[in-house]
Amino acid sequence: MSLELENVVKLAHDGLTSSLPGWAAAAIEYVLVGVLLLALYCVLALILIFLERKICARFQCRLGPNRVGPWGSLQLIADMVKILLKEIVKISKSDKLLYYVAIFLAIIGSFCTFGALQFGKGLACIDFNVGIFYILAISSLGVIGILLAGWSSNNKYTLIGAMRSGAQLISYELSAGISILTMVILAGSLNISDIINGQENAWFIFQAPLPALIAFIIYLIAGHAETNRGPFDLPEAESELTAGYHTEYSGIQYGFFYLAEYLNMFIIAGVATTVFLGGWQPFHIHADWASGFNHVMDYIPSYIWFLGKAFSLVLLSLWVRWTFPRLRIDQLLHLEWKILMPISLLNMLVMAVWVLIF
């Protein structure tokens, strides 16, 4: 039996459909997929937190977590238990409805976008003909959650953080969206499976080297800004705004924002992997002498390819965060509206001409 997880998925599906009515099998599959996706969501967040702590420590010549568990690996479990048990402080003069709705909008937008990623061959929760449009649309829910959190908390620091975040995220979403649409022109489809299958022979970054590379760089910059990570962390600038838009949240409520922020970093890397780096497709060299190399690449499971590429981009994001100082708000908006936006629009035109010619 192949080591690929899609075989396990197929066996489970066949077993359920052969022994249960169609509606019952479908209901069980929906529940199982939701639970597994939620578990993966939480596990990846813990891995990313541990990874950042260790990498941050390396950049600052420290050891990072090293007391609880081997290499400090159980420190994350301790922190998770602590945040679950912490008291939730009630804010007396907040808009309670919007205050609680903001939390769920932030986590739902992140979770639904996460569910659209294809982690391997046959490992996709949803796959329909407008998958890229769905990702661009559903990921925007997080912005609404942030704005509501800042407004409803009735705190000047949270309001300033929300205003900064709204200006930043809405601005950089344009460049990120245009960069993705540039690759949609090359793929000729909004379907995520079609985009990945179109990179079977060569990843898109190699199929149109000049416009694809420019779109890739712009997307990484804009996506990094969308995650509110340094040097684009103005919405959460601790030295200015205490904790920014989620200053008034505590306990598990704060934990939801924390969880969504880290998973958004992985989602940005996952979308970049899907659109630019072939998704779960292995790296191939199309030459007669490279058949043995290609066979070895095919032996590596598809989900390893996807996670390897995505975590490589996450490491790049962490490297940027702990290298560059925070930008001012005028510098941040100047970078988007006067540099990235014109270049991304011109690059989309170049890609259209490239597709027509080649």
pLDDT in tens, 25-57: 888 888 888 888 888 888 898 889 888 888 889
Provide the pLDDT for residue 94.
79
Assessment of whether the complete model's pTM goes beyond 0.95: no
Please tell me the distance from the alpha carbon of residue 141 to that of residue 157, in angstroms, as a whole number.
Answer: 22
pLDDT interval class at 1 (50, 70, 90): very low
- Among 206, 216, 214, residue whose Cα is nearest residue 358: 206
Cα→Cα distances 122→9, 132, 196, 263, Å: 8, 18, 12, 22
- Among 88, 274, 247, residue whose Cα is nearest residue 191: 274
Within 8 A by CB and 6+ apart from 212, the residues are 182, 183, 186, 204, 205, 206, 276, 351
pLDDT in tens, 67-117: 888 888 888 888 888 888 888 888 878 788 888 888 888 888 888 999 899
pLDDT in tens, 304-320: 999 999 999 999 999 99
Q: Is the pLDDT of residue 200 over 60?
A: yes
Please tell me the distance from the alpha carbon of residue 107 to that of residue 122, in angstroms, as a whole number.
Answer: 25
Tokens 């996460």 sit at which residue? 114
